[in-house]
Amino acid sequence: MKPQLLIASPISGSGKTTFTLGLLRVLRRKGLRPQPFKCGADCIDTQYHTLAADCDSVNLDAWLASDGHIQTIYNKYAEQADVCVTEGTAGLFDGYNRLQGSNAHIARLLKIPVVLVVNARATAYSVAPILYGFKHFKNYVQVVGVVFNQVASPAHLTLLQEACADAGVECLGYLPVVDDFKLPPRHSGLVLSVRRTMNEQIDRIASLIEKHVNVDKLLSLCERIFPCQHILPYTSESEPDGRHLVGRKKLQIAIARDPAFCLLSQENIDSLAQYGQISYFSPLYGSDLPSVDLVYLPGGYPELFARQLYRRKRLFSQLRDYIEGGGKLLAECGGMVLLSHSLTVRQGGTAYEMANIFPFDFTMTTRTNAGYRQAEYHGLALRGYESHYTETANPDGNLFTATPVYTMRGNSTSVPLFRYKNVFAGLVRWYWGETDMLDLWKKVPTETNSPAFPSFGQKNI
């Protein structure tokens, strides 16, 4: 038995992340070891969790992964923890297909209770039917209590407590209105100054939680059996437990990791670690490319550091030599931008030259391109998430397309998965927890010395 909870809200913007970060820091102050999780594919909140809990946060996404896999990784990462804290995404019942993939889906799958965070800034007793509805809408979702955010006064709190009593939902406390409280913008790299500000704000919210929320009662209400039982039928053979690596050479793997390339899934890292030894390098701070068998360039915020990256000529030359020599490399989202011809941070601004492996010219816009994605490469099924603010200018008739990329509903997207020699690049952050990344190169034709950008147009390989 250990306390396990999922923090959810009726709608986005209610204060889930704020409360989660503060609670994680409170648990650390109590001498407990919390294990944070995040519903969905968000790799920004997981970085915040890691900062608050001093423990790597893990994504739980029911579109990217099977139910059995989610249960497996939950049990794996939570095994040594004293408390398991899962932050939801969007509203409690918002999934990619009605309830599928929702926070409620995850709570049911893991058999963990839900603590609601409700923004009370513009409501009082009228919150009662909301609480009642969320508690009773699905009987397999156990709503054990609520924490109110943006409470204006003691009189306001009294009305909310009365609403809880009539709705049959435990009021666990509140966070007051704090007008000057502000987390850093989500679209920012966690450079040292931002981390310092984040730490100060997390400490501040933690002190408010200690004062206004009954944390001990919350933990008591959320005690549940651990580990969660797997759904049936369950086959451990579906999990990458290392047996499929028998006879393989142990690889040296380099991962780009710094404020410009920071959108990493912990499970992706741990899955790669099964293949060999991982080392990290920093394109932003001028690291040389290590001598390795595989390079992984993840997503991030190269647009925030375009001028600094532009100056990394030595690294760009090393990347070109590595790739021309047949080195294996996977570039996702911001990693693909690093391999492009140029990056323009604003319309009409300077086009900063990048590594110039692919002849793409990226320009930042105010329009977001986001959603779940899927692809199939010679029988290898891929699932991932795309989120960026870039437009891509592709020269006509000179790109290698490895395979098209589709939305969750099967509609074609504008940017496929590209391949040049042993390089795969695209704008999707793929999930590798259930898929063997090395299978990409098993599907690559033996001929890798063809021209990168032939004159005879797009080609499916």
Query: What amino acid positions are annotated as catalytic residues?
Result: 333
Q: What are phi and psi of 451, to 5 degrees?
A: -60, 145
Euclidean distance between CA atoms 205 and 186, whole angstroms: 18
As a whole number of Å, the end-to-end CA separation of the chain is 52
Structure tokens at 306: 């375009």
String of DSSP letters for 87-154: E--SSTT--SBTTBTSHHHHHHHHT--EEEEEE-TT-STTHHHHHHHHHHS-TTS-EEEEEEEEE--H
Euclidean distance between CA atoms 23 and 36, whole angstroms: 10
Angle at the Cα of 338 from the Cα atoms of 454 and 417, rounded to 5 degrees: 50
The count of residues in the chain is: 461
The greatest distance separating any two alpha carbons of the chain, rounded to the nearest whole angstrom, comes to: 74
Please compute Rg for the chain using Cα positions: 23
Closest Cα to residue 110, out of 26, 226, 24?
226
Euclidean distance between CA atoms 267 and 384, whole angstroms: 13
Backbone CA torsion sign across 15, 18, 20, 22: negative
Euclidean distance between CA atoms 144 and 243, whole angstroms: 41
Helices (H), 144-245: 154-167, 192-212, 215-221
Identify whether the C-beta of residue 191 lies closer than 8 Å to the C-beta of residue 167: no
Residue 358's contacts (CB-CB under 8 Å, 6 or more residues apart) are: 336, 339, 340, 341, 399, 418, 420, 425, 452
Distances (CA, A) of 104 to 8, 9, 15, 200, 233: 9, 11, 18, 32, 21
Structure tokens at 447: 């001929």
